[in-house]
Structure 1
C-alpha cells in the first residue's frame, strides 16, 4: 500500500475557447461526409479559441487559474508556486508557468514557477509532484495550470488529428488537507514504453531538428499521430498495468467511484469497459469537448465535480496515455 499524502484540491476552474465547431461544420471544411467525424471519433462538437478577440492558451489558462482561486476563496497573492502542466508549449523558453505568473500580476513576486510535461498526462503528474511538495512543507498553496489550444495548428494536420482536438484549460489549487478531512493522494504510477516514441510526435523545434536547419522539413513541425499503433500498443500494456496498480495500491476498480480518463477518442474511452469500468463510472465529456490534450483530465474532472457527480470523500482514478508512449494513473480521494 502506498504512503498517503494529506493533500487537498481546494479550488478548480475551467475555461474553453469561445467558438464552437460542430463535426458537421468541420467535415464540410475538410471536404468529407458530414457524419464521418462523429462516427469515427465520438466528437459532436469542440471549442476553438477566437484569435480575433485575443484568445490563446495563455488567456484561457490565466482565466482558469483565476476561477480556481475564486473557487478556493483565495487571493492570487496566497499562491507560493505555479506549475505549468500543458501538453503543448506556449513557446520554447521560458516555461509556461512563468508566463502565467506574469499574466496573474505576480511578475515581481519571486514565487517558484516550473513546468512538467508528459504531454496528455501532464496534469496528474503535476498534481503528484505538487502533493509531495505540499506534504513536505516546501510550499503551502500550489497553483497547477493546464492549457492547450491546438486549433490554430490543425489546418495542415492529418484528418484523424484534426477531427479529435479542441481547445480548453483547467486549473487547480492544492494545499494540505485540514485535520479531520478525508482528501488524500494515494498512489502515482507511470509506465513508459518507448517502442512507441514515434507514434505521437512533433519532431521539429528542438536540437535534433532545429527550426532553421535546411534538413528540417515542414512536416517535422506538425503534430503527427499514428492512431491505430497508439491504440494497439496501449491496449497491449493496459491489462498488466492495471493489475500492477491494484497490487501496489490495494484498491480494486470497484473502490473508485469514477475513473477520470484522458479524453482520447471514442475507442479509447470504450476500451475501459473491458476492465470493469462500466459506462456510468467513466467520466466523459468527449462528445462536446473533443480531446484537449493535457487539459482534458482536469477539465472533465471539473465538470463532474461541479455537477455533483464527484463529491468530497469520493475516490477516483485519474488515468491516461501520453506520448512516449506512456500509461499513467493517479488515485486520489477528492
Structure 2
C-alpha cells in the first residue's frame, strides 16, 4: 500500500511581546499608515532576551503533539533560518526537550520555503517506511537578523513558531498531503541574504561591514519572483492533483506581504476572500508563517473538514514549493 503523510495535529507559539507599527515607525521616519498600506501588517511579535528559536519551537511542538493526541514521533524536523547556534542543529535540542531523546532530528534550511520543504521531507520519510509519525516545525526569531534602522525590512518580519504532526495513512483520506512541487534558483542568492557570517565571508579575508551582518532583501525583485514562483508552483500541484483553481477552498501562501498574497490569488483566479491570512497580526514569520496561519485559522473555526487547501511558499535561495491537502476533522478539544 502507498503510504501518505496525513496531517493529524497543529500547534503554534508566539512570544508574549507584541510590537505595533507605531513603536517601529518613530525611529524609521515612517508612519503606522505607511507600514500597513505597504505590507498589510499592523503588528508583529518579538522574542525577549533569553528566548531562543528552540523555545518557540518547543512551545509549538507541544501544542501540535497535544492536538494529535500523541506524545512521541519517529522524527522531528525544524525549518528555520535562525537556529540557536550555527552548530549543532536546533532540532535535536527541540526533540530532547519534548522528551524524545534518541529520536531522529534535523534542521531544514530553505528560508521562507522551509516549512513546505519540511513537509515534503517528512512525507518522504513516511513513504519510505523510515517513520510512521513526524513532527514538522517552522520556527524563527527573525528579529535577531534585522537592522532596526532599515525600514524596508525592520517593519516586515516577526518571531514565532508553528508545527504539524504527520502520520502514515492512505493517500485518499482527509489530511493526506501531496502531490508536491519544489524548486530553486541559486542564481538569485543575493536577492534575499545575510551577507556575513558564513564560510564565503569568513574565508574572504575581509572583515564585514556592520550592515552585512543584517538581513537584506531586494524588495522589487523579490516581489516579482515571489508572485511568479508561487503562482507557477501552485499551478503545477493543482494540475498534478487534478484540481482546478476554483476547487480550492483556502489558499495558504507564505505570509510575505499582503500585496504578494493578493497578487498570487489574482494570478491563480482564486477569490481573495479564500486566502488564509494572519500577516496583519504577526507579520512575516518566514518558515513559521504557513503553520502559524493554519493553526490560527483552525483555532478560529475557519477551516472546515473536507475543505480543499492549497499551500505555497517562496523564500531565499531562491526556493519555492507547494502542496495540497483536504482539511481533516481535527479534535477541537485538543487544540
TM-score scaled to structure 2, two decimals?
Answer: 0.89
Distance 1:242 1:50, change over 3 A: closer
Q: Quick check: 1:122 aligned with 2:150? A: no
Alpha-carbon distance in 2 for matches of 1:276, 1:318:
15
Provide, for residues 149-184 of structure 1, a one-character-per-residue CA deviation record: whole Å limited to 9, x for no partner: 112332446211101111110111111137984331
Q: Quick check: 1:309 aligned with 2:305? A: no
Aligned residue among 47, 60, 63 for 1:64? 60
Distance 1:330 1:179, change over 3 A: closer
Alpha-carbon distance in 2 for matches of 1:239, 1:66:
33
Q: Quick check: 1:24 aligned with 2:16? A: no
Unaligned segments of structure 1, at least 5 residues: none
TM-superposed CA distance for 1:212, in Å, is 9.6
Provide, for residues 229-286 of structure 1, a one-character-per-residue CA deviation record: whole Å limited to 9, x for no partner: 1112334455554444443332211222111110011221110232212111111011
TM-superposed CA distance for 1:11, in Å, is 1.4
Provide, for residues 271-314 of structure 1, a one-character-per-residue CA deviation record: whole Å limited to 9, x for no partner: 02322121111110111110001000110011112222223332
Distance 1:47 1:220, change over 3 A: same
Q: Give the aligned CA root-mean-square deviation in angstroms.
A: 2.3
Once structures 1 and 2 are overlaid, which stretch shifts more, 186-195 or 276-285?
186-195
TM-superposed CA distance for 1:329, in Å, is 0.9
TM-superposed CA distance for 1:46, in Å, is 1.0
SS of the residue 1:176 aligns to: strand
SS of the residue 1:98 aligns to: helix
TM-score scaled to structure 1, two decimals?
Answer: 0.90
Distance 1:157 1:136, change over 3 A: farther
Distance 1:179 1:85, change over 3 A: closer
Aligned residue among 207, 213, 225 for 1:215? 207
Conservation of the 8 A alpha-carbon contact between 1:202 and 1:220: yes
Distance 1:154 1:313, change over 3 A: same
Aligned residue among 73, 79, 92 for 1:98? 92
Equivalenced residues, count: 326
Conservation of the 8 A alpha-carbon contact between 2:147 and 2:215: no
Conservation of the 8 A alpha-carbon contact between 1:177 and 1:183: no
TM-superposed CA distance for 1:123, in Å, is 0.8
Alpha-carbon distance in 1 for matches of 2:322, 2:225:
17
Equivalent residue runs for 1:171-190 within 5 Å = 171-177=163-169, 181-190=173-182
Equivalent residue runs for 1:153-302 within 5 Å = 153-156=145-148, 158-177=150-169, 181-210=173-202, 213-237=205-229, 240-274=232-266, 275-302=268-295
